[in-house]
Amino acid sequence: MSRRDLDSGMRRTVASLTVATAVLVPAGAFTGSLWLLAAGAWALIAAVLLEMVHRP
């Protein structure tokens, strides 16, 4: 597995977590569901931490 493949996989993971955040937070706000808001917040935290730790 090359470095480029690992970078591509990490970008895909961060993008997926960002999309999950974009879906979960508005859904939680719209429905008033605290667990959806919390899941969206944790997805955002994970995406930011992954982006900060893994710099190609």
Q: What angle do CA 31, 51, 40 make, to 5 degrees?
A: 10
- Per-residue CA distances from 28 to 11, 23, 54 (Å): 25, 9, 29
**Domain-wise residue ranges, the chain:** 3-53
pLDDT of residue 8: 83
Q: Which residues of 17-35 are buried (b: 16+ CB within 10 A; e: fewer)?
A: bbebbeebbeebeeeeeee
Q: What is the pLDDT of residues 5-52, one digit of tens each?
A: 667 888 899 999 999 999 999 999 999 999 999 999 999 999 999 989
Distance separating alpha carbons of residues 38 and 7, to the nearest angstrom: 28
